[in-house]
Amino acid sequence: MSGGRGAGSEPEPAGSRAPEPPQYLQLPQADLRPLSQVLAVLDPEEVGEGRFVASSLPGPSNRVYGGQVMAQCLVAASRTLPSGAERPPHSLHGYFLRMGRLGVPIELEVENLHDGGSFSTRRVLATQEGRAIMTFMASFQETQAGVEFQESAPPAPDPESLPSNADLVAHIQHPAAWMVLHAGAFDLRHVEGQIYFPMGQERANTQMVWMRARKSLPDRTSQLVHRALLAYACDQVMLEPALRANGLLWTTRDISIASLDHAMWFHRPVDVRDWLLYVQDSPSTQGGRGLGAARVFDRSGQLVATIAQEGMIRVPEPPDRA
């Protein structure tokens, strides 16, 4: 939800009846099937050599979700790899340049920078109506043997013992709550408690979050798809430690948040069907920006990815400082 979130507003409690979807939220299908929708938009149409066109998921504003564009760039880049090469992505870096608008096709132009014996590198420019919204680079590597070491996963509560964020916000009438409950393709469970609405959160620059896809995927699903889904999903939580460090919420009144740049390194095979633990921190917030970092472990304790993201975080100045 970062890379495309606008100003927040304070929620108002609702009764026991589930809230209706926001009237301005245009949904392509009644039953939502959120993971199916994500997979559909991560399948851009090839319209020429190295050129693709993609659509966008619905949302509670006119902004395209940044994680979606990043994942679409990754998939488009992978489709230009040498024929027959099995090279999953091992790293990516993207800059979010402008707000993407819903209802406008996203054009993806892939540039082949390098194909070597083990590695391939691609650059992607994502545009809407001729205006760049993201520049992106990714590197792909054939699966190879090598020396092995990893940092150990910290202790964390079992995800099944934690409440789902969807359950926590089920009776709150707010567009953000509605999206978490009805349109989220991933089940998120914060160890320290959710960060959407005021519920006694304590300030801290760290957090841990369990996450997995709400619906299973076929066993034949490629590592490309699993890693693209991880790139898609992680944009929801990367700036949260920076918010927690300053006592802020996603719904803090008049807050303005957007992803600026994003980097990922994939270390081991990813399976989004099972729980993944995000161990996160924010080393600094300053100048209207905040930095978030995450190490992602699978349920067995394997370190599968490392992520870093900087984002814009702006809040109104207090009256005595305005």
Positions marked catalytic: 235, 259, 309
Q: Which residues pair with 207 in a beta bridge?
A: 280
What CA dihedral angle connects 262, 295, 1 and 240, to 10 degrees? -110
Distance between CA atoms of 34 and 40, rounded to whole angstroms? 10
Residue type at 24 in one-letter notation: Y
Between the two ends of the chain, the Cα-to-Cα distance in Å is: 29
| Phi, psi at 171, each rounded to 5° | -115, 25
Distance between CA atoms of 237 and 175, rounded to whole angstroms? 17
DSSP result, 153-202: PPP---GGGS--HHHHTTTEESHHHHIIIII-SEEEEETT--SSS-S-PP
Return the closest-CA partner of residue 205 out of 296, 312, 279, 306.
279
The SS3 assignment for 66 reads: helix
**CB contact set of 183 (below 8 Å; sequence gap of 6+):** 27, 32, 34, 58
Are 58 and 110 in contact, with CB atoms under 8 Å apart?
no
Are 115 and 263 in contact, with CB atoms under 8 Å apart?
no
Are 195 and 249 in contact, with CB atoms under 8 Å apart?
yes
Determine how many CB atoms are found less than 10 A away from the CB of residue 146.
Answer: 4
